[in-house]
Amino acid sequence: MDTTNLPLIPLSITLIAIITALLIYLRRRPRLPPGPPPRPVVGNLYDIKPVRFRCFSEWAGTYGPIMSVWFGTTLNVVVSSSELAKEVLKDNDQQLADRPRSRSAARFSRDGKDLIWADYGPHYVTVRKVCNLELFAPKRLEALRPIREDEVTAMVESIFRECTLPEKQGKSLVVKDHLAGVAFNNITRLAFGKRFMNSAGVMDEQGVEFKAIVQNGLKLGASLSLGEYVPWLRWMFPLNEGAIAKHGARRDRLTKTIMAEHTRARAQSGAKQHFVDALLTLQSKYDLSEDTIIGLLWDMITAGMDTTVITVEWAMAELVKHPRVQQKAQEELDRVVGRDRIITEADFANLPYLNCLVKEALRLHPPTPLMLPHKANTNVKLAGYDIPKGSNVHVNVWAIARDPQVWKEPLEFRPERFQEEDIDIKGHDFRVLPFGAGRRVCPGAQLGIYLVESMLGHLLHQFKWDLPEGMKPEDVDMTENPGMVTFMHTPLQAVATPRLDCVDLYKRVPVEM
């Protein structure tokens, strides 16, 4: 018997086993979307440009409308088409309804005891029900209308006071400064029933504390280290637990003080409509913990304060660049409202062009251009690619709203497009998604639209807006600041000229609620 080749038999068997195992591995390995090549450990973190949604839009031109981007060792899938947005937010909505939480977000939200950072499950369903049926129900929004209108008239009064000063006539003002005041007072009065800032812009003691808490929370939440994206490096990048605990205690102390004030006031004078009163009244009905009530109140503040300012400032920037659109909106306001009274929310139904203007501003300049990320709670397929459980999914609504395959002249500010076609912006049409869609759609979308429409309506009805002398439309800086929301990189400056003859129409008549 020839034994010359006997040693080759085990080697052949081993080689066959290795090849078989490799084929099985390759067959079972997830087929991930294409994307820029990641670096070891850090992934694509150091390749991403500061304004992420623009960077991802550029990369989509190379890798396609679905791509893999690695934040350290965490897979992030970015989609940039309306068809894929529908797959994420409707077809696979439940599988992608969880929320990734940074370590600081987990601490602030008490591990998702609020709404924004909660994973999808019984808690989320309950809190969402509270928002839909109680907090943002049409009846409650209507009851709170006097507060919204009161604060917008306060904004008008402050602009009128500044632009009619002898030394200020014909001079530009910083639009954002006036928008921020109305947004601040609006959200604090709606949520807490408190007007921390007086008509001169001076805050009381609680207001100073409130603003400091907001600013400190943004600072702590924005300070993300490499440890957030590479879990096994977290020992090198520990959280500042002391600062986070101190912030949480400070926030809770102020909130509980206000809650106690409202409890005493309700005992004396009956039910109120503010969100804090509603939540305290509904606490036992929905079995809401104190952490959930506090979390919901601060969700409203963080989600509602900046987004309104952002949308209105971008809209005003487009209006000073496009006098034709401004004039058309003002002609509609003069025709419907006239010049002997001021606009109210009751007029909105008769101002279709103003409504289209708001939609166009939200299309071109969505306040949260990447939305908040979704997290896969199971393995799922998108566009034929495998999305493993635990992956994060981002919808680039900024890119979708500028897609030339979907929109005619997508970069043009043209409100008429919404007259030519009835397009929903509250989550039913995946071409324009300023409020998201599906299970995670913003429950306060209608409130946000009311605020933006009211602010823009007053600004256009009561003032004419022009660029500063010598400035051309193309000189307006239309770039964005880096961050989760899209503030203008250079705050808009414009010249306001009163349009109405009666000075009394520029005076605020305070409403107490």
DSSP 187-210: HHHHHHS---B-TTS-B-HHHHHH
3-state SS, 89-141, equals HHHCCHHHCECCCCHHHHHHCCCCCCCCCCCCCHHHHHHHHHHHHHHCCHHHH
Q: Does residue 318 contact residue 477 with C-beta atoms inside 8 Å?
A: no
- pLDDT band (50, 70, 90) for residue 42: very high
Known binding-site residue numbers for heme: 442
Interval 368-384: pLDDT, tens: 999 999 999 999 999 99
Triad 221, 218, 56: Cα angle to 5° = 65
- Does residue 54 fall inside a structural domain? yes
Domain assignment present for 382: yes
Q: 1: pLDDT confidence band, cut at 50, 70 and 90?
A: very low
Residue 409 has pLDDT above 60, yes or no: yes
Instruction: Tell which wins on pLDDT, 22 or 32.
Output: 32
- Provide the number of structural domains found in the chain: 1
Nearest to 440 by CA among 94, 78, 84, 77: 94
Given pLDDT bands bounded at 50, 70 and 90, which one contains residue 7? low
Give the strand order in the sheet containing 173-174: 173-174, 493-498, 463-466
The pLDDT score that the predictor gives to residue 273 is: 76
CA torsion, points 429, 432, 434, 437, in degrees to nearest 10? 30
376 inside domain: yes
Task: Give kind and range of the element (H or E) at residue 375.
Answer: strand 374-375
Q: What is the CATH number of the domain that holds 390?
A: 3.30.43.20
How far apart are the C-alpha atoms of 186 and 312, rounded to whole Å? 14
Mean pLDDT in residue range 142-155:
93
Closest CA to 78 of 70, 87, 69, 88: 69
Enter the tokens of residue 372: 């908040």
Return the pLDDT at 26: 39
82 part of a folded domain: yes
Average pLDDT of the chain, as a whole number: 90
Question: For residue 453, is it within any domain?
Answer: no
Entry pTM: 0.91
State which residues form the domain around 64.
Answer: 26-101+368-400
Q: Please check whether residue 241 lies inside any domain of the structure.
A: no
Tell me how far apart the alpha carbons of residues 468 and 466 are, in angstroms, rounded to a whole number: 6
Reported as a single tens digit per residue, the pLDDT across 71-122 is 999 999 999 999 999 999 999 999 999 999 988 889 889 999 999 999 999 9
| Residues contributing to the annotated binding site | 442
